[in-house]
Chains A and B, each alone.
Chain A
Amino acid sequence: MPAQIVSLVVNGRSQEFIARPGSTLLGSLRDSLGLMAAKRGCAQGSCGTCTVLLDGAPVPSCLVAVETVDGRSVRTLEGVARDGRLDEVQSAFIDGFATQCGFCTAGMIMVAEALLDRDRDPSRADVVEAISGNVCRCTGYEPIVAAILEAARRRRDRAPGAAPAAAGAAPAAAGSTG
């Protein structure tokens, strides 16, 4: 089976790349397009770290044969912030201390985005179900659930046309490497 050219609309931009037989959507995003936010935790679809949105719906991109999604639209974590502004989910994760090692974060945020896109006022049970395919080994899940509920609240409270409020419940450091 020869390699083929695959076209995707990724985070709103048209992309084209050559996909070898057997390439997964995850592999193509990372290796062909340099989009590294989606992670490869298990390559078996059972950890959720590779979750991206395919036409708005969360998929385990490690199990998607990329040639089968030719022409479709994909949204990754790299496409969530707009013009450098974090959205409510990202800010709520920061303010709510919903990250530790960060490896599950991309997948968690993408399922949250998909949930909030279709349900502006999810219940706690809705949030729990939405993230039930995403493994987190560090946080114990509760801060993630709380952050997603808070993000929904902030988004509902946002005036139409206004930009999302910045993260900022606590002072920030200058930064760190490594």
Chain B
Amino acid sequence: MSYRADPIDKTFFSAERTDDLAVVGTVVQRSDALGHVTGRTRFFEDLAPPDLLHLKMFRSQRHHARFSNLDLAAALATPGVVRILTAADIPNNLYTPLKLIGVGPDDEPILAEDTVRYLGDPICAVLAETEAAAYQAVGRITVDYTDLPAVFDVEEALAEGAPIVNEYHGRNYFSYEGHHCRRVRFGDVEQAFAEADHVFEWRYQSAPIEHAPTETTGCIVVPQPDGRLRIHSDTQACFFTLDNTALILRTPFNKLRIVGGTVGGGFGGKVDVVVEPVACVASMLTDRPVKFVYSRYEEMQVSSPRAAERIYIKDAVRADGRITGRKITLYVDAGAYARHSPYGTTKAAAHLPGPYTIPNVWVDAHCVFTNRTPSSAMRGFGVTIADFALESQMDRIARALAMDPLRLRLINAYRDGDLKAHRKVAEGTALVEVIQKAAAMVGHELPEAYRRMSSTSREATSREGA
């Protein structure tokens, strides 16, 4: 028995592909399978250094508040508690992970100074000999909150007079070169609407979605014989984590070593650098190994999810099914901190208007701050929810025109040489072919003209549309 690898249909693009490879293109055993089935694969938490301290976080119980009178006395008196870290212990307490690629400002504290901006925002870190002692101590910490107005809806957040979520931005949107959103302007959509046979406008909405990996986020930091720190982490990006951590610690980069590479599910949820910095500070201050691993509750409600998105799509459509204009307003709910959302919103703008050649495109993509768990990268970042909207929209257009949904897509599908809305020339396209293949797989009849279409040229459609 071998795994039923799905067949490769070599009748498509036969002139462009070859079968002269010996190892690439063959089914070989996964190099990690043996370790998984014997239980010998080492995940970060399978390391058990002696003298280990456990770090558990005391987190905000409010959506948006100032806090004061943080009382750690009862927590410190808990048997087994060694130390409690606060903002004052963090050398460089403000960061944003994208600073490594020049995106700013720094807008997120590792530990809150006097303000919390989402339910779960970390305030102080308890270090104890056992997890139980750490959790017990966390439960004994008290603080006084003064609630601030909070905003949870993206369009309300952008409205005049909305409470400011993050004063490091000073406004509830990420500023793209001084502008309130990422823009795409291609052709003239208003002209297209004026000339269209049909104008369709619909709205789509998603809610935050969790990566929910079976292994939660975490790391173990171990002081090394040479005075450096070795960080065992389930990060998806070793150097990205190392560099950000070094900046937060204000240490030379070569003081840190990240070891990992075995991740119990990532899906984009383990690139936010949320556990390593504070665990390193803890290890440096106590000179002991420190483990900081998220509980399932933290993974579910505190770790970043996929952003909720609200998308308005307005289309100008000709009677023959050609979409001549597409206007999209996208709101990405970044939550309380930027994390990777400014990047994801740009990526979304690059993906719009979808894999179709539309001569007039207008996009305003907003990265909006609200008082909720900061969202960040997840499998299909910037694209997944957009595809839900775009492909629902195509279906609705097809229905409105009483047109076959695959024919509508084939007519509008991009081809090699077409100019995309972001002005890149399309190449290596294959939307036409995957539609043709899927149609054949389910017995969806396509007329000959559509079966003859090709990504390499638009000849078939120009005959069709004439």
Contacts and interface: CB of A to CB of B under 8 A. Distances in A.
Interface of A: 20, 22, 30-31, 34, 36-44, 47, 49, 76-78, 80-81, 86, 89-97, 99, 101-106, 109, 135-138, 143, 150, 167, 169-173, 175-178
A171 B29 contact: yes
B53 to A, nearest CB: 14
Given A44-B296, A101-B214, A92 B36 contact: no
Interface string B22-61: 0000111111111111111111011010000000000000
Nearest to B37: A90
B39 A94 contact: no
Interface in B195-237: 211-216
Given A22-B132, A173-B28, A103 B215 contact: yes
B49 to A, nearest CB: 12
Contact of B215 (A37, A76, A99, A101): A101
Chain A interface SS verdict (over half): loop
Nearest to A78: B39
Interface stretch (B68-76, B255-263, B449-457): B255-263
B2 interface: yes
A37 to B, nearest CB: 3
B213 A103 contact: yes
Given A137-B212, A173-B31, A39 B43 contact: yes
Given A78-B39, A103-B214, A143 B264 contact: no
B384 interface: no
Contacts of B301: none
B265 A137 contact: yes
Nearest to B299: A42
Given A31-B48, A95-B1, A169-B2, A36 B39 contact: yes
Contacts of B216: 41
Contacts of A36: 39, 42, 46, 48
A41 B2 contact: no
B3 A47 contact: no
A109 B37 contact: yes
B186 interface: no
B46 A86 contact: no
A86 B31 CA distance: 16
A34 B43 contact: no
A96 B212 CA distance: 24
Contact of B3 (A20, A97, A172): A97
Contacts of A143: 3
B312 interface: no
Nearest to B300: A42
Chain B interface category by residue count: 35 or more
A45 B262 CA distance: 23
A29 B32 CA distance: 23
Of B37, B41, B260, B267, the most chain A CB neighbours within 10 A belong to B37
A99 B39 contact: no
Contact of A171 (B28, B46, B259): B28
B295 interface: yes
Contacts of B212: 137
Contacts of A177: 261
B213 A94 contact: no
B188 to A, nearest CB: 45
B39 A37 contact: yes
Nearest to A174: B31
Contacts of B33: 93-94, 97, 99, 102
A95 B28 CA distance: 10
A175 B37 contact: no
Given A37-B38, A167-B29, 8 more contacts: A36-B42, A39-B264, A41-B215, A102-B41, A169-B3, A172-B31, A175-B31, A178-B259
B163 to A, nearest CB: 35
B128 to A, nearest CB: 14
Given A102-B36, A169-B2, A94 B214 contact: no
The 3 residue pairs across chains A and B that have the minimum distance between CB atoms:
A37-B39, A178-B261, A103-B264
B214 A95 contact: no
A157 B40 CA distance: 28
Contacts of B36: 93, 99, 102, 105
Nearest to A153: B1
A38 B46 CA distance: 10
Interface in B150-193: none
Of B3, B33, B41, B267, the most chain A CB neighbours within 10 A belong to B33
B296 A135 contact: no
Interface string B1-33: 111000000000000000000000011111111
A90 B33 CA distance: 9
Given A22-B132, A101-B215, A103-B213, A170 B28 contact: yes
Interface in B380-405: none
Contact of B37 (A105, A135, A136, A176): A105
B264 A99 contact: no
